[in-house]
Amino acid sequence: MDSNRADRCGRVSANAAPASRFHARIFVLAPALALMAGCSMLSQLDKPEIRGVRPRIAGLDWAGIDLEFDLSIFNPYPMPLKAPRFRYDLAIEGARLLSQETPAVASLPARAEGKATLPVRIEFLELLDAVRSLKGANQFAYKLDGALLFNALGAERELPFSRQGQAPVPRPPSFRAIDVKLGEMGLSGLAFDILAEVENPNVFGIDLRDVGYALQLGQSRLGGLQVASNKEIAPGSSGKISIQGKLSTAQALSGLARGLDLNAMQLIPSGKIKTPYGAIDLPERLANPLRSGAGSGFRIE
């Protein structure tokens, strides 16, 4: 009988031990050899490449702005890149504001171009705390430095990128009364027509067609006003709105008894202003004194 084989009782002779140890070593080394082969294969392939970084504004309100950076990435590997993440620093006007690491929303298929998106939320209060000089500004400059991190066959790799640009800080429009015309007093009340100029202090256009108005006269508030306005007011420019309404007989007599002081009138807007980045609700309790001449703009009570 061959001494390297088991006997009838299943015992293995001493001559079989070297072969068993050899097989055990092969079993242990196999994953390492496969990893080395994989790394060798990756080193022979072109590296993934970031072909573009496109910033966009995903949301805007009075409290902050949502920026999203879409990265176009070519993956030459024969397998998709899974579970990538971002590491980035964001500076505003040269001052560092954010330094974070976050999972990436990505689709990076094998041997194709895919996309990874980095969302960044900037709160305006934090912005002003970091950069005091931005108080009253309608936009700010930013610089984003980051890297896309991913694993390929056990090796961590990173693709650096950088992008800089400007982003807006929304400001409420301001109103200035140009002309106020009162109709004749009748049994149904006193009609009026207000022509007002609206200034847009923003770096983007605004649309006021979804804004409603009420007129505050002393303790009385008059709603249901008819408004005609421009479709859109261009960035940094002004437009005109015409507001028609009617005071009841009691309101008119009360106002006339006090001289119908226009400085005591307030135009109260409500609703949404449309922007290229979506609609923004006007702040609550936003009032504008209807003053002739220069006016004082909006006032938040």
DSSP 118-174: EEEEEEHHHHHHH-GGGTT-SEEEEEEEEEEEEEETTEEEEEEEEEEEEEE-----E
pLDDT digits 0-9 by tens, 76-102: 999 999 889 999 999 999 999 999 999
Residues of the chain with CATH 2.60.40.1820: 49-168
Residue bearing tokens 């920026």: 67
Please give the class, per CATH, of domain 49-168.
mainly beta
* 166, 139 contact by CB (below 8 A): yes
* 148, 102 contact by CB (below 8 A): no
pLDDT score at 118? 97
Enumerate the H helices of 71-206 as residue ranges.
Answer: 124-130
Query: Which range among 151-165, 226-240, 277-291 shows the weakest confidence by mean pLDDT?
Result: 277-291
CA distance 269 to 175: 10
268 vs 85, higher pLDDT: 85
pTM: 0.74
Sequence letter at residue 15:
N
- SS3 category, 263: helix
Is the pLDDT at 16 greater than 70? The verdict is no
CA distance 244 to 232: 20
CA distance 12 to 279: 82
Tokens (6 digits) for 28: 């242990």
pLDDT digits 0-9 by tens, 216-257: 776 777 777 888 776 789 999 999 888 888 777 776 666 554
pLDDT digits 0-9 by tens, 47-60: 899 999 999 999 99
Q: How many residues does the chain have?
A: 301
- Phi then psi for residue 22, to 5 deg, are -65, -45
Beta partners for 220? 217
CATH T-level assignment (fold) for domain 174-300: Immunoglobulin-like (2.60.40)
Closest CA to 301 of 262, 271, 275, 268: 268
